[in-house]
């Protein structure tokens, strides 16, 4: 599993680096430098800035233009940063950076969203007899291997004196897990928003436990380390724009959902539920966030999902210049 995942990661990164390699890296002959930003459909704040042209306007006085590059998942996005195909990434889930670091990526953390622990949960069918995590023993549980949901499950089991050996893991993508859940082929499903909100609204899923006290579910923003060292001024501008976008989303949840829903193929009511659970509050990277990154890395290393020990503290962290 890990070998295949690594091969796909490198293949995706190679394609990204080839496709993006022609983008301008420095101001030459009076032309503006281009900052290359990678994002996913789930990158609410960065997509909001993209749709409004906010960064183009904010960075123009700094002699910087913007090019946008969409990715289908977080791992190829971060590897593209590492190999020089991108300069900045939009948010990725908390389980993603440890995999990139394990693969040797040299990245700089430049921002986080504050915790949103209720944005992922372990759910069961509405009429399930299961009422506690301890009762998962011996049952089949669906989740995406190596995702934040996997870490949440590990923590929940450990707090109840259980381990992965006590359940039957079903490693499934969100779409396949949803189908298995609705057919009754799994007893429980560990999933994150907006899939969680959709399962609650459409499949009457019941929350057995969310991430409260178990897994914080922070979103991380990263940069190519050479770009972070060279253009700290650009990072400051992007950070401030993202913070303002987060404030708008939280102050206007219905309007934000109406705008974002068509982009991710869900109805606005479902997206609004998911948006209300996610903090969207941007802040500088702090010690608790990095400590949890280390715990995630250690947990996955112990499960032999990450092949080698990761030392998160060895990674660079951007700090605003005084």
Structural domains of the chain, with CATH: 2-115+217-265+281-317 (3.40.190.10), 117-210 (3.40.190.10)
Query: Which pLDDT band, with edges at 50, 70 and 90, does 91 fall under?
Result: very high
Q: Residue with structure tokens 């068509």?
A: 262
Query: Which pLDDT band, with edges at 50, 70 and 90, does 320 fall under?
Result: confident
State yes or no: pLDDT of 259 exceeds 70: yes
Cβ(221)–Cβ(22) under 8 Å? no
- Contacting residues for 76 by C-beta, under 8 A, at least 6 apart: 8, 9, 12, 13, 16
Q: Where are the beta strands (DSSP E) in 152-256?
A: 168-171, 188-192, 206-210, 219-224
What is residue 80's predicted lDDT score, i.e. its pLDDT? 94
> Which class for 168: exposed (0-12), middle (13-18), buried (19 or more C-beta within 10 A)?
middle
Q: In terms of pLDDT, which residue wins out, 130 or 18?
A: 130
Query: Which pLDDT band, with edges at 50, 70 and 90, does 14 fall under?
Result: very low
Average pLDDT over residues 226-247: 97
∠ CA 133-139-141, rounded to 5°: 75
CB atoms within 10 A of CB 251: 10
Query: Which pLDDT band, with edges at 50, 70 and 90, does 321 fall under?
Result: confident
**190: which 2 tokens?**
């560990």
What is residue 17's predicted lDDT score, i.e. its pLDDT? 42
- At residue 52, φ and ψ (nearest 5 deg) are -95, -5
Return d(Cα 173, Cα 177) in angstroms, integer.
6
Return d(Cα 283, Cα 234) in angstroms, integer.
16
What is residue 208's predicted lDDT score, i.e. its pLDDT? 98
Q: What is the pLDDT of residues 28-50, one digit of tens each?
A: 444 569 999 999 998 999 999 99
State yes or no: pLDDT of 19 exceeds 80: no
Beta-bridge partner residues of 168: 140
Q: Report the percent of the chain where pLDDT is more than 70.
A: 90
Query: Which pLDDT band, with edges at 50, 70 and 90, does 7 fall under?
Result: very low
Q: Report the percent of the chain where pLDDT is more than 90.
A: 86
State yes or no: pLDDT of 5 exceeds 50: no
What is residue 4's predicted lDDT score, i.e. its pLDDT? 42
What is residue 289's predicted lDDT score, i.e. its pLDDT? 96
> Which class for 75: exposed (0-12), middle (13-18), buried (19 or more C-beta within 10 A)?
buried
Beta-bridge partner residues of 143: 171
Q: In terms of pLDDT, which residue wins out, 214 or 264?
A: 214
Cβ(290)–Cβ(314) under 8 Å? no
């Amino acid at each position: 599993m890990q070998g295949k995942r690594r091969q796909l990661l490198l293949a995706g990164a190679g394609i990204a680096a080839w496709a993006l390699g022609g983008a301008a890296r420095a101001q030459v002959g009076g032309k503006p430098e281009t900052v290359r930003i990678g994002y996913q459909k789930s990158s609410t704040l960065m997509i909001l800035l993209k749709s409004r042209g906010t960064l183009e306007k904010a960075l123009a006085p700094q002699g910087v233009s913007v090019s946008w590059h969409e990715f289908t998942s977080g791992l190829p996005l971060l590897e593209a940063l590492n190999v020089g195909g991108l300069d900045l990434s939009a948010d990725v889930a908390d389980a993603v950076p440890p995999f990139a670091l394990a693969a040797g990526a040299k990245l700089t953390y430049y921002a986080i969203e504050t915790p949103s622990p209720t944005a992922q949960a372990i759910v069961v069918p509405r009429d399930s007899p299961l009422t506690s995590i301890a009762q998962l023993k011996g049952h089949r549980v669906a989740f995406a291997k190596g995702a934040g949901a996997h870490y949440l499950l590990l923590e929940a089991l450990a707090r109840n004196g259980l381990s992965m050996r006590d359940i039957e893991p079903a490693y499934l993508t969100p779409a396949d897990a949803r189908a298995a859940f609705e057919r009754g082929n799994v007893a429980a499903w560990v999933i994150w928003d907006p899939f969680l909100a959709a399962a609650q609204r459409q499949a009457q899923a019941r929350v057995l436990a969310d991430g409260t006290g178990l897994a914080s579910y922070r979103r991380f923003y990263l940069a190519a380390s050479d770009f972070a060292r060279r253009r700290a001024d650009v990072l400051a501008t992007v950070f401030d724009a993202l913070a303002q976008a987060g404030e708008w989303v939280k102050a206007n949840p219905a309007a934000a959902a109406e705008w974002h829903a068509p982009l991710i193929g869900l109805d606005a009511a479902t997206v609004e539920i998911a948006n209300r659970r996610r903090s969207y509050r941007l802040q500088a990277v702090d010690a608790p966030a990095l400590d949890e990154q280390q715990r995630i890395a250690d947990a996955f290393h112990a499960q032999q999902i990450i092949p080698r020990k990761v030392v998160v503290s060895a990674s660079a962290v951007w700090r605003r210049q005084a």
